[in-house]
Amino acid sequence: MLNLSKTCKYGLKALAYLVRNGDAELVRIPVIAEAEKVPTNYLRKIFDRLIKARVVISTVGPGGGVQLAPGARRMSIADIIEILDGKPDANVCHIFGTAGCKHDRACPIETECRKLNREIWKKLRTFRLEGFTAKK
Let me know: does 110 contact 93? Beta carbons within 8 Å. yes
DSSP 8-state class, residue 66 = E
Determine the pLDDT at residue 46.
97
Kind plus residue range of the DSSP H or E element containing 68: strand 65-68
Read off the pLDDT band of 9 (50, 70, 90): very high
Determine the pLDDT at residue 4.
86
How does pLDDT run across 71-128, given as a tens digit for each residue?
A: 999 999 999 999 999 887 666 665 665 566 555 456 677 777 778 888 888 999 999 9
Q: Where do the structural domains in the chain lie, given as residue ranges?
A: 6-133
Let me know: does 29 contact 13? Beta carbons within 8 Å. no
Determine the pLDDT at residue 101.
58
The CATH code for residues 6-133 is 1.10.10.10
* N-terminal to C-terminal alpha carbon distance within the chain: 23
> What are φ and ψ of residue 67, in 5° steps?
-155, 165
Q: In angstroms, what CA-CA distances link 11 with 1, 62, 100, 119, 129?
A: 19, 24, 29, 23, 12
pLDDT average, residue stretch 31-43: 96
